[in-house]
Amino acid sequence: MDSKDFIPWFFGLWFITFPLTIFITYTVVTELLDIIFNTGNINRLLKHSDNLNSDPLEKQYTLDKGRQTNLDQSNLMELERQIKYIRQVKNKNSWTNRTSFEEKEKITAAKEISDVFKIK
């Protein structure tokens, strides 16, 4: 297929080729203008990203990952106590669930226990 065959097809299917040509031209031109006018910002961001030190973040990640894999039974029990305390506080603050004196005692006891055994 040479250019003599292509041109009649291009103009023959003008209702498809013209909008497609306009869309492609618009997309390419806007992307090029965006790159041209934002070159200073792009270079500034790249300069800052090259100077980032990610070693502390990697150390923190490995420490946190190690803590998560080495959970023992006491930590899990403490998490369970804290979850129960949060649920009791939500029920206490809810206007639909009126708390009795015994539930208030449980809430204060759970609060005291959670204050003693906080996980950092």
Render 21-32 in DSSP notation, one character per residue.
HHHHHHHHHHHH
Q: What is the pLDDT of residues 57-85, one digit of tens each?
A: 888 888 888 877 777 777 788 888 888 88
The token duo for 62 is 């490995």
Domain assignments of the chain as residue spans, ordered by start: 3-50, 72-116
* Alpha-carbon span 72 to 13, nearest angstrom: 71
pTM of the model: 0.33
Distance of CA 9 to the CA centre of its chain: 49
- Mean residue pLDDT of the chain comes to 79
The token duo for 89 is 């506080």
Q: What is the pLDDT of residues 38-63, one digit of tens each?
A: 888 888 877 776 667 778 888 888 88
